[in-house]
Structure 1
């Protein structure tokens, strides 16, 4: 896995999240077809770009798109 692969996987995950629903990790993994380390790297990429929100409820991790608003 290289940076290009991670970027492509991040795009795949972002497209899945683009319906603004809250996805649990297992469903996102299944729908994306990515392995744990691939999904983890893609989520890390998106989190560093401040594109997603990670929310922990009990034992479940939920992921959804963040809303970034810039008023300049």
Structure 2
């Protein structure tokens, strides 16, 4: 169940970054229509493991872009 959810959300994140360029974690949550930090980080972890993202920390948020 978690794998399906993570894969689905990872796809939404990839699409949002492909269209919008670099986005913050808050912007990504809005784009993938989730309120859960857990869901966001589950999907980001999936994409990070696949080596598809650049992630940096900016103040109290993350800044994410495609490699």
Tell me the TM-score normalised to structure 2 length: 0.86
In the TM superposition, structure 1's runs of 4+ consecutive aligned residues that sit over 3 Å from their partners are none
Match of 2:42 in 1: 41
Larger % of helix: which? 2
Match of 1:61 in 2: 62
Size of the alignment, in residue pairs? 66
Between the aligned partners of 2:2 and 2:39, the Cα distance in structure 1 is 10
How far did residue 20 of structure 1 move?
Answer: 5.7
Match of 2:15 in 1: 15
Between the aligned partners of 2:47 and 2:12, the Cα distance in structure 1 is 11
How far did residue 56 of structure 1 move?
Answer: 1.4
The unaligned stretches of length 5 or more in structure 1 are 67-72
Task: Select the structure of larger CA radius of gyration.
Answer: 1
2:13 partner SS: helix
Aligned CA-pair RMSD? 1.4
